[in-house]
Structure 1
């Protein structure tokens, strides 16, 4: 193999490495922020969740007492929250404002007051 052929081969190899490095960096997403939420009689803790528009977050729910539900209708998100298990939902809000979430599984006489607010800025 001549000097020009080796030079071309090295340039091609370096270009391929550079392109694959750029592709890997471009496809790497930042890790979603985890927000832990406890659903207990008869409140969500925290009762206000603050996120930025376009920020991907993972909501991790636990319920220490009884079966609960989480419903954030404005973002079409819903899950059951079973005692002793973690329920996770991913959210990337595409709009700003204040949005109400609530427990949609009857959990006792204070159930109707079990609401919270997602605040997206």
Structure 2
């Protein structure tokens, strides 16, 4: 049985746990489809410091996803969503591309992440 004193001692721990759950719930999920020879969407706008999860799915072929300036790299297996967490700390434009050759037109498979201050 919890006494009033024990209940008061447990309250801060419960608030910390609740805060952690709420922080995780605030991550925005951005779904990105990869198919020959494009990403959809190919422009992603974020706010500086915004925590997001990029959920990438290859629809027709094993693709790659690379954002060199943000040191992000993922292999996309056809039909299996891959999640990449991102919290950009610097405003700017960051190019992304498919780095797994997927045929004629592969060079056009690219996009931009725009991080606004």
Would the TM-score normalized by the shorter structure come out above 0.5?
yes
Look up the match of 2:13: 20
User: C-alpha separation between the residues in 1 aligned to 2:112 and 2:94?
Assistant: 5
User: C-alpha separation between the residues in 1 aligned to 2:63 and 2:15?
Assistant: 45
Look up the match of 1:38: 33
TM-score calculated relative to the size of structure 2? 0.86
SS at match of 1:101: strand
TM-score calculated relative to the size of structure 1? 0.83
Is 1:69 aligned with 2:64? yes
Aligned residues: 113
User: C-alpha separation between the residues in 2 aligned to 1:21 and 1:41?
Assistant: 48
Shift of 1:111: 0.7
Shift of 1:87: 1.3
Is 1:53 aligned with 2:48? yes
User: Unpaired segments of 5 or more residues in structure 2?
Assistant: none
Decide which structure has the larger Cα Rg and report it: 1
